[in-house]
Every structure is written in structure tokens, then in C-alpha cells.
Chain A
Amino acid sequence: MMQFYSLRTRIKVVLESVSVCLFFSGAVFAADIPSGKTGFESQIKPFFKNYCIECHGPEKSKGKITLHSLDGDLARGQDLERWELILDVLEHEDMPPEGEENRPSAENRAATIKWINSSLRDYVKKASETPMAVTTRRLTNFEYQNTMRDLLGLELELSKNLLVDPDRPYHFHNTSEFMMIGPDQLVRYKEAARKAMASAIVDNGEPELHQTIAKWKHGQPGKKGLTQAEIGVYQGPGVGRKTVKLKSWPKTGEFRIRVKASGNFPSGFQEVALRLVMGTDLRHDSGSGIYQEVGTIHLTNTSDKPEEFEFRGRIENIPIQPASNRRNTISPPSITITAQNIFDNGELNDHRKSGFDDSWSVKAPRVILESLEFEAPVIDDWPPEHHRRILFESPLRDSKTDEYVYKVIKRFMTRAFRRPVDREEVDHYFQIYKIYNAEFDTLEQAMRETLAMMLISPQFLYHTVIDQAANAKSYELASRLSYFLWGSMPDEELFNLAASGELNDPAIIEVQTRRLLADNRAVSFVENFSTQWLSISKMKTVNINHDLFPRFLYTVHVGERRGQEQLFRPTIRDYMHEETVGFIGELISKNLSIMNIVDSDFAYLNEPLAVHYGVNGVRGLKFRSVPIKPEYHLGGLLTQGSVLVGNSTGSAPHPIYRAVWLREAVLGDEVKPPPAEVPALSDSAGDSAEDATSIKNLLELHRNKESCYDCHVRLDPWGIPFERYSAIGKYQPLVPKDKVRVRGFNHKQDKTFADYQAYLRSIYTEKVNASSRVPHGPAVDGMMNLKKYLLMERKDEIAENVVRRLMTYAIGRELTYRDRFEIKKLLKLAKDDGYKMQNIIVLVCQSPIFTGAKS
């Protein structure tokens, strides 16, 4: 149970901050108020009475905050959230509100701040002598999936059928307060564990080998200019791929696909990407296509030097098309490998007449696929490593089976529970084994069931917490580090450091933090953290208006899914996601300042995305840092597609969504959803929703309604400077004229790219007004000025937000007033260090909040 729910962020919703912070500026001498009750009665209470109680007292309780009932005895540990709130609004001069004439003097304010600060600090100091209760939480699905991978040594998709984690915009999925286990969750854990064990432990004897081989001739080009072995670029369904139907496959096991491939490069091209996906035959554009990506390779070799490439995967992860009964013929279950040429220079769908310009098939690079061999299971090494990891080779197995089983259980358990286990605990699972052993014929079968039960034990499913054993804390810390930075269990090195007790040394923590971040497993941390922090996944479900933006997505041209997004190819939206995750990754791996999230001198792009943004000279699908110029209008997170598209309507920019994003993700405020009783945007604006093309204008009408004004006057100004970025995340300083219905893109009229551009020119005629006065701040016109303002005046808030986000994610609970002073300390260190992101992560890991040590 979480009792300390942070009110801190909540109030900022209601109160806007001004940038000048008197307390820190030290410009004012603060007279000392006597500490404790005396000071409260003589000075603090009158201060409240003079400046606050009128709105926050028995008569009115604006923002549901009242001050009259506070008793001034912070040492009792009551009302501390409220005190922290008061401290925040006084420090930021949020209150009394702008325009209020009865204001405290600077000295008076500073003295009050000082009194609250020191009283709060006294309490926190006293309170932290008893350690903050550990908040047990279960593994998130992300952590579960990764832990199983590292525990078992094989990558199985196991989290799909688990109940979803608590998912709230701008919050992390691991908040312990919300992470609960119910009977159904447990049933599903059990299903997943049994599935995993069925794969991890193989049956005795050599398995049957399954093979499918396909060959294509790279000879004379055919009618379309391609040889039999060539795969041209995507030009609509059925083009740009080759399929191989598997003859047979095993139920479990690793598979290997060997391809002999090269590229055919027309002049100007050096690279082409070949992607393999498995599942349904993707020839049909039914929306029910189920498939799994196997891998992508970037080919640079030519047909005179074909090379062999190998893909690996697990057959269990491949969705199988079930048997179907169509027109009285029953087709058996099937799996198809589809090889795709996913070359994409951002121009493929420039021609829209009937999909694509045919000439692209010879103008663009081609994949030459001469052969493809599927083989499963991989038996180079049999039984496989993941099997031997559990049922290790030993003469004991036959001679003293019980002793062997005991050892097997103990070995597995130590890793599954992520700490040493005692005899009693092992005995327990030995008993379970005995039950299964009585029923099953083989050791393998009984062991699968036994270990599956271990994997639904609370010791596996919950984050490592144990009793007061001497090195218990070290193991906890080892897990906390690995779950923070890998989303998975500790590795050998961390376990060893926990065992020796060295992990408690801050210098070792630093070394380990940097080691973990440099490891490949940290990639998924960056993805998981960034996606949730920045709330960018909604971008993928925004309904893009294909009439307005016909080139943005690859759409299906025929059949029942006509007009909808082509499902089986990586699209620009996938790349936008990678852009943002990769960008944050760059900040961490290169140890750059976190202020880069506001503005940066580089972007993280591949070719299709660069073309989309209007950046020249980026080739290929691989992402890289690209230096940017002012005319690109890029830099930082604010101009990235993931943010702009996700916070648009799919047709138009949405200044409210974008304002909310900026305040939540960058400034760290919590913006409340619209209250129940306010009318929706279009209702309050009259019937004009259908005519007006800009939401900005609608907002103006909406703001003028009294019930909307209070909130929107604090919100809208943050979103309006984004207005020159379109719904698909492009810089677009011209828009259609207001209240004019744009005619919409017409496939018949606007056939070619030139036609399309002419069409755009015909509708985009008006300059965008992107100017607004930010609350308590100056007038800001457009993105560049907004960024400038944020970097001039809001740095402290931005840094505090990033630090708090990292810490919250790392410990899996909301921060409270008790963490306040540690966070401030950490912020000071980070500031002096130039806000370098990797260093900040090290500071987080060393902080007593994270390690659980006393400060």
C-alpha cells in the first residue's frame, strides 16, 4: 500500500509557475522565524491568514486545498504533502495568483519558505531513521518477459497473454500501488511458465529434423525487368516480397534460416534491406495477417559476390495460420516465410495513380535472393544449451537421482529467486517434484512441471525482497540495478558483487551502472522508459486522414482493407518511434546534456524519416545522428514526429494535446483531464467544427466560455507555438484558409508527385499564427522562440522533471515529500555537472532513495 501519494505535481496543474525563484536567488535576506510551534503561531499562521485563507480556508477551498486546519507541528508527520505543496507554490511564487494585489513582501515570503523548509527537513531526517517501507511489486510484463529470457537462455514470447500492466499516460507501468495479482493473472502466469518449460527442457533422444529449401534463378530478367531471384521494391500488395511455405516444422525449438543473398544497385544506391517475417502468407491483404519479424539485414554486396546470411528464431513465437475450411477443401495449418525488400527512400508513394510508379521496380535497388533454407530444430549442439543449463550433465542423474534432482532445483532456484536459497526452500520444491514424479514417466516431464510452479512463486514474480539476512540488501540492490537498466534479472557479475558485499560501494555502483548501460540489454530500458515517460505510443493509433496526407503511410489500394494502412511493412510511424527512443539513447550513451530534449544540434534519422522532415543526404534505413541546420526546423524532442503526430488529430495539429504533452513530459506538471461538466470543444464553439480547419480558432471560441477559461488560459498558450508543425509532424508554415472546406486529395486528378505538390500549394495559402503569451511569461512566436524561452527560464523545472522521472521508474513508486531533499541534492550535483544524462543515471543509482541506504 502506498500511502505517500505525491500531491506535489498535482497542484502545479492549477498554479502556473513564474520563473524567478526568490529563495534560490538569495537576493533577499530572510529573517529567522522561531522554529516549531512558537514560530507557527507567531508568524506562519498570520501569514496564511493574510494571504491565503480567503481562498483556501473554511469559506472557499480553491483547488480543494485548505490551510486553516494546519497545526504547525510538522514533527507529527501529518499533512506533510500539503506542507510540501505550500512550499512549492511559495518558492515558485505561484501564489498568491498573478493579479492579486494583496501580496506578501519578499522578506516575508522568504522567511516563511525558510521556516517550512527547515521544519520539513527536520521531520524527514527523523523519519528516515526508520527505513522507508519497501514497496513490494510484481514484475511488469516487460520485466517478466526479459527475466524469462535471461533465466532460461531462450527468447520466447510469453507476456502476450498476461493481463496488461497499469497503463496511464505519462506514468510508468511499474507503479507498485497499482500492480496487483489476482487469480486470473496467476492462471496466466502458470500457462506462460508451462509453455516456457515445455521449450526449455527437451525430450530425450535426437529430435526429428524439419527442412524446407527454396531456390530461385538469377538469370535473364523477365517482363517486369526482374530476374526470378530478384525482389523489387514495395509497390502495393503482392509486390516486393517472396514467400516460402514451410513443409513441416517442430512444435518447439530454435530454427535457422540461411539465405544466399546480394543486392542489385542502380547507380546512386549502395544498400538494400532484406527483411524476413514469418506467419501468415502476406499475399492477401486481409487485416487478420499474423506474423512475426525474424530479422533484417542490410545488403551491400553485389550478385557477383553473393553471401550467405543466417537468421535465427524460435518456432514457438511464430503465429501459425490455423487450418481453414474454404469451399469444401480443408487446408492444414501453415507457416510461410516472407522475404521483403523494405527499401524505402521516402519517395516510393509519390505516384498515386494506381498505387505506385512501375518504373520503381527497376529504378530502385533490388534484393537478389538465390536460396533460402529453413531448418529446425537447430541441433548443432544437442541437447541445447538451455536444456543443459537446467538438467546439467552428471553421473548422479542415474545413480542418485534424488540428489541430482535436489541439485537441479537448487541451481535453478538460486537464479529464479535472484538470491541464495536455503535448505527449507529447496525441500519445498523437492516435495512438489515428488508429487509430479509419481505421475509422470520421465524426469524431464516432472521437472518441467516442478520448475513451472517455481515460476509462479511470489519469490519469482515479485521484486526481490527477503528477510534480514546479512547480504540480503546487496541482492536486492543487484536486482534493482538490473531491473532498472535492463528490465531483467542480474547477471553473474552482479550476483558475485552482491555475494561479496562490494556492491554497496558507490564507486562500484558507478562502474556497474555504466557497464549495464553499455550492454545491449539497456536498449530495451531506453525504449520502455522513453515510451512511457513521453507517452508516444498513442502516435501509432492516431487515425491519419489519408485524403489530406496521402503520402504519409503506405496504404492498401484494393480489397476490403482499401485505404487502410499496409500492415506488413515498417512504416514511417515505426521509424518515428525509433527516432525518439534512439535520440534518448544517444543522450545516455554519449553522456549528453538532458537539455537536448528541448533543443539539440543533431537529429536521429534514417532515410525515409529524413526525407519526410526535408533533410538531405541521409541514405539507408539505419539510424544515425545527423547534424542539423536551422532551416530543417528540427532539434530536441518537441519537433519529433512521435510527439507531433501522437498529439494531433490525424488531420490537424492539436494545440491542447501538445500543450498537455509539453507540460507533462517536459515540464513535469500533471494536467488534469477536462472536468465532467464542461462541454466538448466543438459544442462550446457553436456548430463551426465542420468548417473551421484550425483548432486554434476553435480554442479561441472555447476559451471565451467562462467554464473553460480558467483551465485553458493556462494550457493553450503552450500548444500554440507548435502550430507550424502539421498533423504528420512536418514543418508546415502555411495552412488552408480558415472556414474553407479543402477539396481533399483526389487520386484521379493529382496523379503524380508534381500534381500532388500543386494540390498542396493550392490549399496551403495562409500563414500560420503560432504566437502566444506563455503564462506568467513573454510572448512566444513559434517553436524556435518556445525552445529559447524554455532553455532560458525553465531549465530547473526540466531537469527536475527528468531526474524525478528516472528515479520514479527506477524504484517503481511515486516520489513523496520524504524524497524531496535527496532529489534537490541530486539536482544540484547534476546541474554542476552540466546535466549529463548518463551521469544523472549514475547519481540516481547511487542515491539513498534507490539503494535504500540511510543518507
Chain B
Amino acid sequence: MKQKSWHINRREFIRGGGAALALPFLQGMSWGKTRVGQELPKRLVVSYIAYGVYEPKTKDGSHHDWNWWPCKDSGPLIFNKSAAPFVPLKDSVSYLRGLEHAGGVGMGGHSSGDVFATAANMSGFEKTNNISVDQVAAKVNGHKTRYASLVLGTEGGSGSYGSAKTLSHYGPGRPIPSMHRPQDIFNRLFTPYAGKEIDLVRADLKREASVLDLMMDESRRLQSRLGKEDQQKMEEYLDSVRALEKRVERTSQWTHEPLPNVDTKGLNLEVSHKDPEEYTRCMYDLLYLAFQTDSTRFATLMLESEHSSGSEMWNYANYVLGYKGATHDIAHKRPAESGKWDNWRAKQHAYFLNRLRNTPEGDSNMLDQTIVVWGSAHPHASHSTKNYPIQVAGGNALGFKHGNLHSFEDDKKVPLANLFVSMLNAVDAPVEKFADSTGEMTEIV
């Protein structure tokens, strides 16, 4: 497809100094169902780093330059060396100290990442995990975009209980496998029909719908012949078929909407784990493009997992810092280099936040329309599953107030899930409760 003239190339636009201008939301740069006059997209991202962060103390009681937390005291943010990449984003970020998901506490130091976006009580009554925050939003507002959500990871797949490779879950026992190959992600987002004629695509979908219908009948018949326990198990299968039916229906509807034109210049989709910086940025770029084209509004990105031993990511820190030894050992030994590692992670994340912020949208910019949570399910002390490092960014236009570090220690403690409640309310997926929440995160909303 040739690029239509009204499809303004965003990159050139920004290069031309357009970022300084406050322009109305440009329909030409979006696609899908958002039209001028309609509300701007409200987005949500959860991004995860593993193994906790470096939280050293100094002898004189001052704040350590390489501590992940930008400053020591709650109040207005002052950035140390580790958090320096966020200096230009001061008014768009908050830090929340002293929070965790109670449901992850009993899971052990290598597993609580499983519940980072779900807050499920996996060591208790939710052994197979539960729905994640992005999926709650996707259920309500996912129909507004071609893809209800985008689930990314750097290792791909679902992983297993206690060693998830994804942050997103439809519900108990139903992890959503993350995509990790840039080319696959790009194809899925922007060339979903793989070059097939649209009429053929529709015919295929129609046929698939009728076959699924028959499969549904058969499974229902089987279900009725089973004992009670087995019927429950079969319900899970039926749910999946239903979900596929919906997916087919949705895909066919969207065949009537034009696919976006995407500028692939500067995107290296062949990049591998061996170049962690390029790779990580490429994942962030794809996420950015998905938002920019309004292909989806809800996303998770599992940048690292505590169980990377089977993949190249295991030696992540080796590539980045030249640290000898496994990444896991860094978490346990916490050599001084790990401050630089955090700083490296911060740079990549700030890159993404900056891209969002530098893209005008409506009266402000994309970051103001996007709430981004970034953190880990472990603090510094390895194996601990309390006091997560948590940064929240963006969403200024959705009611989020930034620029401070908030401390929730001791009697101020609230469930981290309160943040999720506030996020969901901000993206028009109103809830009163999420997992163990007790209210909203009033400090930043």
C-alpha cells in the first residue's frame, strides 16, 4: 500500500520542530475508530524488571548515588545518579515506596513476579494466578482498537507457575503468552493478513466461525455427559472456544478498517538479545508504534524474568556491564556495578517515556494519556517479596499527579493493588476493587 498523502510521517513531523506546537489530535496519524471529536485514547502499560534493584546505604546517612530510588525522603523528587535519566521527566513520574502485593509474599524470592500485574494470592487461594490489570481494562475498552491488548516479553511464551514469562493473564490458569520476536510483533500488529486479499481473509474467517460453532456444539454435548467435577474442567475449554469465536468475529469486523501505514525506518526487527540495548529499545519502539497507531491501548512488557536461565537473557548483565557471573548472582551479591545496571534500565525506560511525551496528542502528548507502571516484585534484599521498587509515569491528562516520592512505610501502608484501582478508573474501566485493594491510590490521583 502506498502511503497516502494525509498520512503524515510522525517522525519527520517531530524532526521539523512540530513537537513544540500544541496541535489537536491528528486523525491522519491515527486510525481505527478514534475520530476527531471523540475522546482521546486512554492507555495503560505495566513493565517489569526482575531481580529487584540496588538499594545501598551510605555510612553518613545521605542518599546513595546509585540507589534505585531517586532520593531518600518523601516529597518532591531529587534525582540521584541512578535515576538521572528521568530528570527531564520530573513532572511525569512518581515513585511509590513501601508497597507490595500481599498475594506474592509467600511465593518465594524467585516467583513473585508472576503476580506483579495480577496481585493474585498464588500462595493461597489463587494457585493458578488470576486476571491482570491490563486485561481488566481490555475487557471493558479493548473493543475500541484492533487489538484488545498487547502482551510483550523478552523471553516469550507463558512460562510456568512460579516462573512466568508474561505479566498478562485472562484469568486463573490462563496466561497470555508474551511475544518477544520483534519481527513477529511487527507482523502481528501491522501486517496481520500476511499479504492475503481482504476478501479471502473474510471468507476464511467466516468459515472458521461456522466450524467453531460446530466445535462448540460438540463440546457442550460432551460436557453434559460428564460428572460434575469434569464439567467444570470442560467449562474452561468451552470458554476458550468462545474466546476464539469472539476473536474471529472481531478480526472480521476490523477487516473493514484500513491498516495503518507504519514507518519502519530506524526499526531493526532482526535485532537479537545479544544487543540488549538495541533489543530493549526495539521492544519499546514497537509498543510506542502500537499506541501511536492506536492499534491497542493496554499493554504489558516483561523486560526480564527471574527464571531466565534457559535463554540468552540469563546473561543480560554480562552484555551490558561486562559483569562476570549470572544475573541472578548480581541480585544476591549486589556488587557496585548493579547501580549502573539500574541506571542502564532507567535509560531504556526513560527513552520510551520520552518518545511518548514528545508525541503530541490532543492538547498535550501521548504520555499524558498513558499510565506507565515500571518496577519489580523484589526490593534489594534478595528473596524478599516486600517493598517493591515502583515508579508510575504519565497519565497527567487522566488525573495523575507527579513529581514526588511517596512513602508508605509502617502505618501508611496500603495494598499496591490500590494503584491498579486508580489506573483502571482513569482509563474508563471503573472498578471498586482489584484483588486485595482497599481503595484508590489517592496520593497520586
Binding site for B on A (CB under 8 A): 1, 133-137, 163-168, 176-178, 180-187, 287-288, 424-425, 428, 431-432, 435-436, 439, 453, 456-459, 461-462, 465-467, 538, 541, 543, 560, 672-674, 676-683, 689-690
Binary CB contact string for chain B from 216 to 242 against chain A (1 if under 8 A, 0 otherwise): 011101100111111011101101110
Q: Are A168 and B160 in contact (CB under 8 A)?
A: yes
Q: Which residue of the partner chain, among A180, A436, A459, A672, contacts B128 with CB atoms under 8 Å?
A: A180
**Known contacts A453-B215, A678-B383; is A183 also within 8 Å of B240 by CB?**
yes
Additional A-B contact list (18), CB under 8 Å, known A133-B230, A457-B219, A673-B108: A133-B228, A134-B227, A163-B158, A164-B160, A182-B173, A184-B158, A186-B240, A435-B207, A439-B207, A462-B237, A543-B326, A673-B110, A673-B383, A676-B385, A678-B383, A683-B381, A683-B382, A690-B333
A135/B274 contact (C-beta < 8 A), A432-B214, A458-B237, A674-B383 known: no
B140, CB-defined interface residue at 8 Å: no
8 closest residue pairs by CB, A with B: A180-B173, A182-B174, A673-B108, A183-B243, A541-B309, A133-B229, A167-B160, A136-B233
Q: Please pick, from B157, B226, B312, the residue contacting A136 in the complex, using a CB distance under 8 A.
A: B226
A428 and B333 form a contact (CB under 8 A): no
Closest Cβ of chain B to A204, distance in Å, is 23
Complex-state Cα separation, A465 to B230, whole angstroms: 9
Query: What 1/0 mask marks residues of chain B from 180 to 202 whose CB sits below 8 Å from any chain A CB?
Result: 00000000000000000000000
Shortest distance in angstroms between A239's beta carbon and chain B's nearest beta carbon? 25
Decide: A436 near B160, CB < 8 A? Known: A133-B228, A465-B226, A467-B226. no
User: How far apart are the CA atoms of A465 and B228 in the complex, in Å?
Assistant: 13
Q: Which residue of A lies closest to B210 (CB)?
A: A435
**Cβ contacts B26-60/A at 8 Å (1 or 0 each):** 00000000000000000000000000000000000
Cβ contacts under 8 Å, B272 to chain A: 288
Q: Please give the distance in Å from B217's CB to the nearest CB on chain A.
A: 7
Neighbouring B residues of A136 by C-beta, 8 Å: 226, 229-230, 233-234
Q: How far is the CB of B49 from chain A (nearest CB, A)?
A: 19
Rounded to whole angstroms, the CA-CA distance of A460 and B333 in the bound complex is: 49
Q: Are A680 and B237 touching (Cβ within 8 A)?
A: no
Neighbouring A residues of B309 by C-beta, 8 Å = 538, 541
Q: B100: nearest residue on chain A (CB-CB)? A: A676
Complex CA–CA separation, A456 to B211 (angstroms): 12
Quick one: given A1-B232, A541-B309, A541-B310, are A186 and B241 in contact (CB under 8 Å)?
Answer: yes
Cβ–Cβ contact A676 & B160, under 8 A? no
Specify which chain A residues have a CB less than 8 angstroms from the CB of B177 in the assembled complex: 163, 184
B384 within 8 A of A: yes
A428 touching B384, Cβ below 8 Å: no
Interface: B106 (CB within 8 A): yes
Report the nearest A residue to B232, measured CB to CB. Answer: A1
User: Which residue of the partner chain, among B162, B210, B215, B229, contacts A457 with CB atoms under 8 Å?
Assistant: B215
Set of chain B residues within 8 Å of A177, measured between Cβ atoms = 127-128
Q: How large is the interface on B (under 10, 10 to 19, 20 to 34, 35 or more residues)?
A: 35 or more
Asked if A164 and B243 sit within 8 Å, CB to CB, the answer is no
Name the A residues within 8 Å of B110 (CB-CB). 673
Residue of B nearest to A537 (CB): B310
Q: For residue A182, which residues in chain B have a CB less than 8 angstroms away from its CB?
A: 170, 173-176, 236, 239-240, 243
Complex: A43 Cα to B371 Cα, angstroms: 63
A167-B160, A180-B172, A680-B382 known; A425-B218 Cβ under 8 A: yes
Contacts of B99 in A (CB 8 A): none
In the bound assembly, the distance between CA atoms of A725 and B311 in angstroms comes to: 28
A183:B214 contact, CB within 8 angstroms: no
Cα distance A431–B214 when bound, in Å?
A: 8
Instruction: Give chain B nearest CB distance to A456 CB in angstroms.
Output: 7
CB pair B172 A676 closer than 8 Å: no
Bitwise, B139-183 to A at CB < 8 A (1) or not (0) is: 000000000000000000111111100000010111111000000
Q: Indicate if the CB atoms of A168 and B384 lie closer than 8 Å.
A: no
Which residues of B line the A interface, CB within 8 A? 105-111, 127-128, 157-163, 170, 172-177, 203, 207, 210-211, 214-215, 217-219, 221-222, 225-230, 232-234, 236-237, 239-241, 243-244, 247, 272, 274, 309-310, 312, 314, 325-326, 332-333, 381-386
Residues in A with CB closer than 8 Å to B221 are 424
Shortest CB-to-CB span from A543 to chain B, Å, is: 5
Query: How far does the Cβ of A607 sit from chain B's closest Cβ, in whole Å?
Result: 29
Q: Bound complex: CA of A86 vs CA of B327, how far in Å?
A: 43
In the bound complex, what is the Cα–Cα distance between A290 and B157 (angstroms)? 19
A181 contact set on B, CB distance < 8 A = 236-237, 240
Are A458 and B325 neighbours in the complex by a CB distance under 8 Å? no
B236 contacts A180, CB within 8 Å?
yes
Contact status of A164 and B241, CB under 8 A, knowing A133-B229, A465-B226: no
A-chain residues with CB within 8 Å of residue B225 when the two chains form the complex: 466-467
Output the nearest chain B residue to A440 by Cβ-Cβ distance. B207
Name the one of B108, B214, B310, B386 contacting A674, with C-beta atoms under 8 angstroms.
Answer: B108
Q: Which one of B162, B227, B237 has the greatest number of beta carbons of chain A within 10 Å?
A: B237
**What are 13 A-B pairs at a CB distance below 8 A?**
A163-B158, A167-B160, A178-B173, A182-B173, A183-B174, A183-B240, A184-B176, A287-B274, A457-B218, A672-B108, A673-B110, A679-B381, A683-B382
CA distance A674 to B381 in the complex (A): 13
CB distance from B374 to the nearest CB of A (A): 22
CB distance from B445 to the nearest CB of A (A): 29
Residues of A within 8 A of B386 (CB): 676-677
A468 and B87 alpha carbons, distance in the complex (Å): 69
Of all chain B residues, which has the CB nearest A439?
B207
A178 to B310: give the CA distance in the assembly, Å. 22
In whole angstroms, what is the CA distance A462 to B239 when docked? 15
Cα distance, A165 to B332, chains bound together (Å): 28
CA distance A186 to B176 in the complex (A): 12
Residues of chain A contacted by B161 (CB below 8 angstroms): 166-168, 178
A752 to B208 alpha-carbon distance, docked (Å)? 66
Closest to A161 in B: B157
| A428-B229 in contact (CB<8A) | no
Asked whether B381 lies within 8 Å of A164 as measured between CB atoms, the reply is: no
Distance from A469 Cβ to chain B, minimum over Cβ atoms (Å): 10
On chain B, the residues within 8 Å of A168 by CB distance are 160-162
Query: Are A680 and B383 in contact, CB atoms less than 8 angstroms apart?
Result: yes
> Do residues B247 and A183 form an inter-chain contact, with CB atoms below 8 A?
yes
Q: How far is the CA of A166 from the CA of B159 in the complex (A)?
A: 8
Which of A135, A165, A184, A678 contacts B229, CB < 8 Å?
A135
Nearest-neighbour CB distance to chain B for A231, whole angstroms, equals: 30
Cβ-closest chain A residue relative to B332: A680
Residue of B whose beta carbon sits closest to that of A186 = B240
Contact across chains for A677 and B241 when beta carbons are under 8 A apart: no
A458 contact set on B, CB distance < 8 A: 219, 222, 234, 237
Question: Looking at the complex, which one of B108, B241, B332 makes contact with A682 (CB distance below 8 Å)?
Answer: B332
In the docked arrangement, what's the CA distance between A23 and B424, Å?
Answer: 59
Question: Quick one: closest B residue to A1, CB to CB?
Answer: B232
Contacts of A465 in B (CB 8 A): 226, 230
CA separation between A425 and B105, bound complex, in Å? 48
B210: chain A residues at CB < 8 Å are: 435
A531 to chain B, nearest CB (A): 14
- Known A133-B228, A136-B226, A136-B229: A186·B244 in contact at CB below 8 Å: yes
CB distance from A560 to the nearest CB of B (A): 8
Across the interface, B312 reaches (CB within 8 A) one of A133, A287, A428, namely A287
Choose among B105, B207, B232, B326 the residue that contacts A676 (Cβ–Cβ < 8 A).
Answer: B105
Residue of B nearest to A288 (CB): B272
Distance between Cα atoms of A673 and B111 in the complex (Å): 10
With the chains together, A680 CA to B383 CA distance in Å?
Answer: 7
Among B108, B110, B215, B241, chain A packs the most CB atoms within 10 A around the CB of B215
The answer on a CB contact under 8 Å between B382 and A432 is no
Nearest CB in chain A to that of B183: its residue = A322
The residue of chain A having its C-beta at the shortest distance from the C-beta of B228 within the complex is A133
A720 to B248, CA, bound (A): 59
| Chain B residue at minimal CB-CB distance from A543 | B326
Taking a contact as CB atoms under 8 Å apart, the answer to whether A180 and B174 are in contact is: yes
Which residues of B lie under 8 Å from residue A453 when comparing CB positions?
211, 215
Bound form: Cα–Cα A182–B333 in Å: 39
Quick one: which of A288, A425, A672, A673 has the most chain B CB within 10 A? A673
